A = this chain, B = another copy of it.
Amino acid sequence: MISLDTILAAHDRIRPHIHHTPVLTNHTIDEQTGASLFFKCENFQKIGAFKARGGLNAVLQVADSREGKAIATHSSGNHAQAVAYAARQVAMPAYIVMPRTAPQVKKEAVRGYGAEVVECEPTQAAREAGVQAVMAQTGAVLVHPYDDDRVIAGQATAAVELIADYNNPPFDLILTPVGGGGLLSGTALATHYLSPTTRVIGCEPAGAADAVLSFESGRLESAPYIDTIADGLTARLSERTLGYIRQHVSQILTVPDADIVAAMRLVWERMKIIIEPSCAVPLAVVLRYPDLFRGKKIGIILTGGNVDLGKLPF
A selection of 6 A-B contacts at a CB cut-off of 8 Å is: A44-B271, A44-B272, A268-B274, A268-B309, A272-B305, A274-B274
Whether A22 is near chain B, meaning CB under 8 Å from some CB there, is yes
1/0 contact trace for A179-201 toward B, CB 8 Å?
A: 00000000000000000000000
CB distance from A58 to the nearest CB of B (A): 22
Q: Inside 8 A of A272's CB, which chain B residues have their CB?
A: 43-44, 48, 273-275, 305
Contact with B along A263-274 (1 / 0, CB 8 A): 001001101111
Task: Give which listed residue, B24, B43, B275, B309, contacts A265 with CB less than 8 A.
Answer: B309
Q: Among A271, A272, A305, find the residue whose CB has the most chain B CB atoms closer than 10 A.
A: A272
Q: Is the CB of A314 within 8 A of B309?
A: yes
Given A24-B44, A44-B271, A309-B312, 13 additional A-B pairs, CB 8 A: A22-B22, A43-B272, A44-B272, A48-B272, A268-B309, A269-B309, A272-B274, A272-B275, A272-B305, A273-B273, A273-B274, A310-B314, A312-B312
Query: Which A residues between 258 and 284 are near B, CB-CB below 8 angstroms?
Result: 265, 268-269, 271-275
A310 to B102, CA, bound (A): 26
A44 to B275, CA, bound (A): 15
User: Shortest beta-carbon distance, A256 to chain B, in Å?
Assistant: 20
A219 to nearest B CB, angstroms? 38
CA of A268 to CA of B273 in the docked complex: distance in angstroms?
Answer: 8
Chain B residue numbers with a CB within 8 Å of A268 are 274, 309
- Which parts of A2-47 form the interface with B (CB within 8 Å)? 22, 24, 43-44
Q: How distant is the Cα of A273 from the Cα of B269 in the complex, in angstroms? A: 11
Alpha-carbon gap, A48 to B268, bound state (A): 11
Q: Which residue of chain B is the closest to A274 with respect to CB atoms?
A: B272
Cβ contacts under 8 Å, A314 to chain B: 309-310
Distance from A301 Cβ to chain B, minimum over Cβ atoms (Å)? 15
Q: How far is the CA of A242 from the CA of B122 in the complex (A)?
A: 61
Contacts of A275 in B (CB 8 A): 272
| Smallest CB gap from A308: residue in B | B269
- 8 closest A-B pairs by CB: A272-B305, A272-B274, A43-B272, A309-B314, A273-B273, A44-B272, A268-B274, A272-B273
Closest chain B CB from A266 CB (angstroms): 11
Residue of B with least CB distance to A272: B305
A282-314 near B? 1/0 per residue, CB < 8 Å: 000000000000000000000001000110101
- Shortest C-beta distance, A34 to chain B (Å), equals 18
Give min CB distance, A105 to chain B, whole Å: 10
Tell me, in angstroms, the Cα distance from A22 to B271 when the chains sit together.
13
List the B residue with the shortest CB-CB distance to A48.
B272
User: Which chain B residues border A24 with CB–CB below 8 Å?
Assistant: 44
Alpha-carbon distance between A272 and B22 when the two chains are bound, in angstroms: 13
Which residue of chain B has the shortest Cβ distance to A42 in the bound complex? B272
